[in-house]
Amino acid sequence: MKDFKYLAAMTIPIAAVVSIYLKGFWSYLTPIYAFVIIPILELLVPQDPSNLTSEERSSKSQNRFFDWVLYVNIPIVFSILFYALWDISSHTYGVSETIGMALSVGIVLGVNGINVGHELGHRQSSNERHLGKLLLLPSFYMHFYIEHNFGHHANAATKEDPATAKYNQSLYSFWITSIVGQYFSAWKLQSQILKREQKGFISLKNDMLWYTLFQICYAILVYLFLGLNTLYFALSVGLIGFLLLETVNYIEHYGLVRKKLSSGRYERVRESHSWNSNHIIGRIVLYELTRHSDHHYKSSKKYQLLDCHDSSPQMPYGYPTSMVLSFLPPLWFKIMNPRIPSEMKNAT
């Protein structure tokens, strides 16, 4: 029965359904739930740093339940998205209601869309990777697959990584540098892949072209069938979705730096180069994303198998709470800067 705890991730889309259906004040239920109620629960529920036994690990690695818990997000995410788009195109709502609905749908795209897409994007099965990319589409962030898997995991906690927040860099500065840097990095990585395979820019193997085409087609179809105002809404929820991703990127590696060796290469990515959190609520709602140190240590490991390492830097709060803190840079710096190892501060 303990495995069913991951169904708690469904509380985000449930809150969004209530928000979209009831509207009015209720249209803000999802952001209130995600960034007020969940952080409060994180403070009340004890942390759990324990790891699986060898028997539990063997059992959970073979249990398909953990895969289907991810797959079910696909129809849920797109059902909520398409219903909201249809609703916006069919009715006239006030600015306040529209903003609340956009925040609710955008949070679903970030938590149950991009986050699950990230997990599936690391799978060995090409079908699962395709599903992961599909979940990135409505946030207009399909390039994340290439940059994250081939760029970020190689360069995390270095100056070469746009998705690693520098010491004393604010979230809002990071949004700009990371969004722009990752996009151009994805094109650079795609070019390198094509060159290795001796393919030209105009090639069926150019995934970045396909991602661009798919996302443009999605936007055009929304405009043609549902109108300009609905397109604005679709663009808005996509923006909210990928800003949530970038906020998570910000807290995952903030201020952490890998040493540069005498050879000019960086030391291997270790558990000390990502922030870990053992706060239960954030762990289960985000499918163990908060055990990010182990994810970088072995990216192919499925979410239900991730471990806590004693050598990993520990966040004082869970990821949802930390995201709220990051919105207030002075408070974030006050809490997090003293926790960064001095040698890493000096390296920056």
Could you tell me the sign of the dihedral formed by the alpha carbons of 172, 167, 257, 177, in that order?
Answer: positive
Q: How far apart (Å, rounded) are the C-alpha atoms in residues 214 and 8?
A: 31
Q: Which residues contact 64 (CB under 8 A, 6 or more apart)?
A: none
For residue 119, is pLDDT > 70?
Answer: yes
For residue 169, is pLDDT > 60?
Answer: yes
Q: What is the pLDDT of residue 63?
A: 92
What pTM was estimated for this model as a whole? 0.95
Secondary structure class of 265 (helix, strand, coil): coil
Q: What is the pLDDT of residue 139?
A: 98
Going from the C-alpha of 242 to that of each of 266, 278, 293, the distances in angstroms are 29, 24, 22
Secondary structure class of 141 (helix, strand, coil): coil
Residue pair 23/97 in contact (Cβ under 8 Å)? The answer is: yes
The β-bridge partners of 276 are: 291, 314
Q: What is the pLDDT of residue 264?
A: 81
Average pLDDT value for residue range 161-184: 97
Token duo for residue 48: 């759990």
Residue pair 10/76 in contact (Cβ under 8 Å)? The answer is: yes
- Tell me the residue type at 159: K
Q: What is the pLDDT of residue 168?
A: 95
Average pLDDT value for residue range 2-13: 92
Q: How far apart (Å, rounded) are the C-alpha atoms in residues 139 and 280?
A: 27
Going from the C-alpha of 230 to that of each of 13, 48, 194, 234, the distances in angstroms are 20, 43, 36, 6
Average pLDDT value for residue range 72-77: 98
What is the DSSP code (8-state) at residue 302?
-
Residue 153 phi, psi (nearest 5): -70, -20
Structure confidence by residue, pLDDT tens digits, 198-214: 998 889 999 999 999 99
Could you tell me the sign of the dihedral formed by the alpha carbons of 253, 109, 103, 75, in that order?
Answer: negative
pLDDT over 90, % of the chain: 83
Domain regions of the chain by residue span: 2-347
Residue pair 110/244 in contact (Cβ under 8 Å)? The answer is: yes
Q: Using pLDDT thresholds of 50, 70 and 90, give the confidence band for residue 224.
A: very high
For residue 1, is pLDDT > 70?
Answer: no
Q: How many helices (H) and strands (E) does the chain have?
A: 19, 0
What is the DSSP code (8-state) at residue 150?
I
Secondary structure class of 197 (helix, strand, coil): coil
Average pLDDT value for residue range 37-62: 91
For residue 56, is pLDDT > 90?
Answer: no
Going from the C-alpha of 72 to that of each of 7, 52, 106, 117, 301, the distances in angstroms are 10, 25, 18, 12, 20
Average pLDDT value for residue range 155-173: 95
Q: Rounded to the nearest 10 degrees, what angle do helices 228-253 and 319-326 cross at?
A: 100
Count other Cβ atoms within 10 Å, centred on residue 123.
17
3-state helix, strand, coil in the chain (%, to 5): 70, 0, 30
Average pLDDT value for residue range 190-200: 94
Average pLDDT value for residue range 118-141: 97
Count other Cβ atoms within 10 Å, centred on residue 196.
8
For residue 29, is pLDDT > 70?
Answer: yes
Q: What is the mean pLDDT of the chain?
A: 94
Residue recorded with tokens 């949530």: 244
Residue pair 152/122 in contact (Cβ under 8 Å)? The answer is: no
Residue pair 306/61 in contact (Cβ under 8 Å)? The answer is: no
Q: Using pLDDT thresholds of 50, 70 and 90, give the confidence band for residue 346.
A: low
Q: What is the pLDDT of residue 348?
A: 54
Average pLDDT value for residue range 53-81: 94
